Amino acid sequence: MDRGRYERYVATRQTILVHTRDEFAVQMLDDLAEGLLLARDPHEAGAARDRVPEALELLVERGELTRRAANRLWARFRGCGPAIDWPPSWDRSGASSAWVVRDH
């Protein structure tokens, strides 16, 4: 972890709190962000990254998040972990299955 990742994690937590009221949803999203923040290597970060789209989709389906909020959170999550490949969107139904976007 470095200062930049920590600052992006704090911004992610703030975004979670702005867009989510349900305690379960807040805790789930916070756990995802923390997993990315604390990832020490690309393997750990990849495992944490792979849980994000499924969680966002679940919360959108349950009505806990709008798609717009999920898109904002997706952008925030990408900054919490080390530099790894990310898909262009969290919505895998509309995105290629290849991890193509390199991010922090």
Query: With a threshold of 0.85, does the pTM exceed it?
Result: no
- How many whole angstroms separate alpha carbon 12 and alpha carbon 70? 12
- Per-residue pLDDT tens over the stretch 8-44: 999 999 999 999 989 999 999 999 999 999 999 889 9
Provide the residue type at 73 as one letter: L
- pLDDT range class, residue 92, cuts 50, 70, 90: low
Cβ neighbours around 60 below 10 Å, total: 18
How far apart, in Å, do the first and last CA atoms of the chain sit? Answer: 11
- Dig out the tokens for 6 from the structure: 């920590």
CB 88 within 8 A of CB 101: yes
Q: Which strand (E) or helix (H) includes residue 102?
A: strand 101-103
